[in-house]
Amino acid sequence: MKLVKSLMASAVIAGSLTGAVVAQDKVTIGVSVPAADHGWTGGVNYFAQQAIDRLATTYPDVEFVFASAPDAPKQIADIEDMVSTRGIDALVILPGDPDAMTSAIKQVKDAGKFVTVVDRQLSIDGVEDLYVAGDNPGLGANAAAYIKESLPDGGNIVILRGLPIPIDQQRFDGFMAGIEGSNITVLDDEFANWNRDDGFKVMQDFLTRFPDIKAVWTQDDDISLGAIEAIKQAGREGEMFIVGGAGMQQILQAVANGDALTPVDVSYSPAMIATAIELTTSHLVGGIHVDGRYILDSTLITKDNAAEFLDPSSPF
């Protein structure tokens, strides 16, 4: 399900439940996310808390237990406590390390709880009741389409990836499929761990090794910020352009301003956590059938439409 359809469904469900909440017993929803170790997860924390505050006011019979964890062991401990101590009826989780956490999340499901997984897929299919994520293959494909169109005669590019987890591979595969049939050459791709410092280091290495780079694809706007800094320090900003991903406000403002180094971005909003919490609440409060997969569009953001994505209140 695409973004517009998902949000419309949420709105309809929310509107239909206003009179039904009074009749419901108290329910408890656990929300577990990674700590804000980079801009995107900072946005996840922000939008999760916004959704919780809004829904707690609308539905006083719903209690939310929110936890933010710096690593997988702490996140596992948090969800175990939510089940054993807080007695949650449902879990909404964005797993920091999905491979390490699949078993613990399966135990929550086996305990009879409704499980919503956000963004990062587990290593076992079918554990979760509901999966909410952005269009990862589409993020890569949209970036590839723009670069391919911008370099009709081909050229050398470099890729700064995220982490070695499934969503990274989906983005990478979507990108590589998108540049098939072109004369674009990928000089190298390296993991930059979705953070600015590693983006700077990886881009510095690329700039040292490759005298001719026409374009840079990064899987995340935090990585883009590091890459931009490295390019500017090397005095090579006139030689290439960057296509990032996620929709960080700082990058979107540059796109809106017509910055030549960052002419476009591809959306992958951390607000997906709010959609996941809203849908899970709708299921528990009104018995609405919401299981399955909700995939939110990844949209190419240009100077022409950047204003639609700018949000001064967002920390990301």
* 4-25 tens-digit pLDDT: 334 334 433 444 333 333 334 7
Same domain, 173 and 249: yes
Instruction: Tell me: do 223 and 242 sit in the same domain.
Output: yes
User: Quick one: 170 and 291 in the same domain?
Assistant: no
Do 104 and 158 lie in a common domain?
A: no
What mean pLDDT is reported for the chain? 91
Do 241 and 282 belong to one domain? no
Is 184 in the same domain as 279? Answer: no
CA 67 remoteness from chain centre: 18
Residues in contact with 163: Cβ distance below 8 Å, sequence separation at least 6, in sequence order: 191, 193, 194
Confirm whether 304 is domain-assigned. Answer: no
Does one domain contain both 10 and 100? Answer: yes
As a whole number of angstroms, the distance between CA 132 and CA 84 comes to: 25
Task: Give a yes or no: residue 170 inside a domain.
Answer: yes
Determine the pLDDT at residue 15.
41
Contact 302, 255 (CB under 8 A): yes
Confidence label for 287 from pLDDT (cuts 50, 70 and 90): confident
Please give the pLDDT value at position 119.
92
Q: pTM value?
A: 0.82
Is residue 206 within 8 A of residue 213, CB to CB? The reply is yes
Round to whole Å and give the CA distance between 285 and 281: 6
Q: How far is residue 110's CA from residue 132's CA, in Å, rounded to a whole number?
A: 20
Same domain flag for 128 and 176: no
Q: 22-71 pLDDT, tens per residue?
A: 334 799 999 999 998 778 888 999 999 999 999 999 999 999 999 999 99
The residue range of the domain holding 29 is 3-134+270-297
Q: Is 200 within a domain?
A: yes
Residue 165 belongs to a domain? yes
> Does 312 map to a domain?
no
| Degrees to nearest 5, angle at CA 164 with 295 and 29 | 45
Same domain, 160 and 111: no
3-state secondary structure of 200: helix
- Assess whether 154 and 140 both reside in one domain: yes
CB 158 within 8 A of CB 187: yes
Contact between 59 and 1 under an 8 Å Cβ cutoff? The reply is: no
Cα–Cα distance between 277 and 291 in angstroms, integer? 13
Domain-located, residue 64: yes
CATH of the domain at 178: 3.40.50.2300
Report pLDDT digits (tens) over 200-244.
Answer: 999 999 999 999 999 999 999 999 999 999 999 999 999 999 999
The answer to whether residue 97 sits within a structural domain is: yes
- Same domain? For 218 and 243 the reply is yes
Residue pLDDT, tens place only, 186-210: 999 999 998 999 999 999 999 999 9
For residue 134, what are the β-bridge partners? 296
Burial class (CB in 10 A: 0-12, 13-18, 19+), 163: middle
| 315 domain residue, yes or no | no
Are 90 and 104 found together in one domain? yes
Give the count of domains, the chain: 2
